Amino acid sequence: MSAPIQRFVPTDEHGPLDLLDPAAEHRGQHGRYIADSGLLNAANTALSLELPLLLTGEPGCGKSDFAWVVAHALGHTAPLCCHVRSDTRARDLLYHYDALARFGDAQHGRLDHARDPRHYIRLRPLGVALMTTAPRPVVLIDEIDKATRDLPNDLLRELDEGHFEISEIDTVAYPTNLHDPDHPNLPLRRHMRRPSARKPFIVITSNAERQLPEPFLRRCVFYHIPAPDPDRLLAIAEHRFPHHRPDLLRSLAGTFARLRHHAERIGLAKPPTISEMLEWMKALTGYYHPGDVQLAMHGFDVSLQKGDGHLTGDGLRWADLPGISCLIKLREDLAELGGHRAG
């Protein structure tokens, strides 16, 4: 089998490209980020083609945090973040128009101010990034599948061309320019046209709760972050909790890996995710007495060595695992692990 392509030509029509070095140590929001070669190759492809990078994977696997990795690599302290909700519209990622404030000014005698809609417009992260020239900004659109199907469809032109329209600004010629208060170098116009520069790098995350539209998918570079193996689970724990005892973290990571394997084998409706593992570890290492946690986990370690995944060695049940309420969220699943029977 041939090896995957690792190297990229580091230039395009705009000049040298900033790419992620597979040999470098990468840093996310919470410290060191361990990225596999497939993720780095997908990111470098998206950077080169000026296409968004669409990431899927289970909660806690590092989808959102990867935007910080790219931002740090391109010289920024953080990405510009768009957090999607069920009622988010495409316009909300580009700009905000405060119609209520304008109406209030008109009612209270500030008519001259209220006549100009630009006083009531503020650019949002995606709008700021599309209008910025240098350095190349990084945008995170987090959990896009939370919104309606219209949101990704309504972003197609913006992703393709980088232009957008502020429909509240009249087409008449204004005598003076008004700029966004938070970004004095960005004038507000009806037709916001991207300058001649590279597009911003956009990281889009999805929990795959529903299928995204095909026209939107065609405009993205896609990568699915695979479920981590036990060694990677331990590495995640060590980087998230660097000041805790390594032997305890090894015990917790190993127990979680075996619990998840058992949960998938018996077909639990909702196996625990990495995000829930981190909350579980945070609870056990931060809020319980360390000696009690160490003693309890030692019992599980011994039982796992004797049993077959059901913890039959010393009569323990997975439902007895300290902090199980952080990991198992359905009554039926808890019953399958030896807890109180559902119903």
Read off the pLDDT of residues 67-83 as tens digits, 9 standing for 90 and up.
Answer: 999 999 999 999 999 99
pLDDT of 192 higher than 70: yes
**Predicted pLDDT at 51:** 94
d(CA 126, CA 95): 8
Instruction: Give mean pLDDT, residues 38-63.
Output: 92
Instruction: Give mean pLDDT, residues 321-328.
Output: 90
Average pLDDT, the chain: 85
d(CA 264, CA 274): 14
d(CA 235, CA 282): 15
Contact 334, 319 (CB under 8 A): yes
CATH classification code of 11-224: 3.40.50.300
d(CA 35, CA 337): 33
Amino acid letter, residue 276: E
Q: Which residues contact 319 (CB under 8 A, 6 or more apart)?
A: 328, 334, 337, 338, 339
pLDDT level of residue 247 (50, 70, 90 thresholds): confident
Please classify residue 59 by burial: count the beta carbons closer than 10 Å to its beta carbon, then call 0-12 exposed, 13-18 middle and 19+ buried: middle
d(CA 14, CA 48): 11
**Predicted pLDDT at 307:** 57
Q: Where are the domains of the chain?
A: 11-224, 230-336
**Predicted pLDDT at 92:** 95
Q: Which residues contact 156 (CB under 8 A, 6 or more apart)?
A: 215, 216, 219
Considering only residues 209 and 121, tell me which one the structure prediction assigns the higher pLDDT.
121
Q: Output the pTM of the full model.
A: 0.83
pLDDT of 341 higher than 50: no
**Predicted pLDDT at 55:** 97
pLDDT of 214 higher than 90: yes
Please classify residue 333 by burial: count the beta carbons closer than 10 Å to its beta carbon, then call 0-12 exposed, 13-18 middle and 19+ buried: buried
Instruction: Give mean pLDDT, residues 102-118.
Output: 90
Residue 46 has which token pair? 């998206």
**Predicted pLDDT at 11:** 55
Instruction: Give mean pLDDT, residues 14-39.
Output: 79
% pLDDT > 70, the chain: 89
Q: H/E element holding 193?
A: none
pLDDT in tens, 224-244: 999 888 888 888 888 888 877
**Predicted pLDDT at 342:** 42
Instruction: Give mean pLDDT, residues 27-38.
Output: 86
Q: Where are the beta strands (DSSP E) in the chain?
A: 11-12, 15-16, 26-28, 31-33, 53-56, 80-83, 95-97, 121-123, 138-142, 164-165, 179-180, 183-187, 191-192, 201-206, 221-224
Q: Phi/psi of residue 245, each to 5°?
A: -65, 130
pLDDT of 343 higher than 60: no
pLDDT level of residue 306 (50, 70, 90 thresholds): low
pLDDT level of residue 16 (50, 70, 90 thresholds): very low
